[in-house]
Amino acid sequence: MEPAAPPPPGPAAPAAAAPGSAGLVCAQGRNLRAVLCQRCGSRVLLPGAATFARRELLLPAMRKKAAAAAGGGGDVLREHWLVRDMFSFENVGFTRDVGNVKFLVCADCEAGPIGWHCLDDKDSFYVALERVAHE
């Protein structure tokens, strides 16, 4: 099994906020609060840096960076922060290529993966809401 399915044709469209994301998304669909690493509290994104999007992505189970790239079980996650410019991140690291995908991890503690980036789409970085904290 591949660690992540290839993206469907075309970019994911921003979606209306789901009940689980209440209080996190503004009327324009952007993140109202800062996005933090669940493990160490390091700031990953500033408020307003990402757009809420729905897309089914398979992410490996949360582990340190080296173990994340090795594969194994995972979770299908559907709610993400979509970041269009990698320089919008305050603090993020990337795993080695796993097929045509790089997984996003916390640059401080290397916990992750917290997100997903397909090498075929240079302008789409997904951070799973379930894998981060908000302040």
Confidence band (pLDDT; 50, 70, 90) for 17?
very low
Chain segment 24-83, per-residue pLDDT in tens: 999 999 999 999 999 999 999 999 999 999 999 999 998 555 554 555 678 999 999 999
Flag whether pLDDT at 108 surpasses 60: yes
**Cβ pair 81, 52 in contact under 8 A:** yes
Structural domain includes residue 118: yes
CATH of the domain at 45: 2.170.150.10
Is pTM beyond 0.85? Reply is: no
Domain that holds residue 37: 27-64+75-134
Concatenating the DSSP letter of every residue in 76-124 gives: EEEEEEEES-GGG-SS-EEPPPBTTEEEEE-TTT-EE--EEEETT-TT-
Chain segment 77-100, per-residue pLDDT in tens: 999 999 999 999 999 999 999 999
What is the count of structural domains for the chain?
A: 1
Structural domain includes residue 99: yes
Confidence (pLDDT) at 72: 60
Structural domain includes residue 36: yes
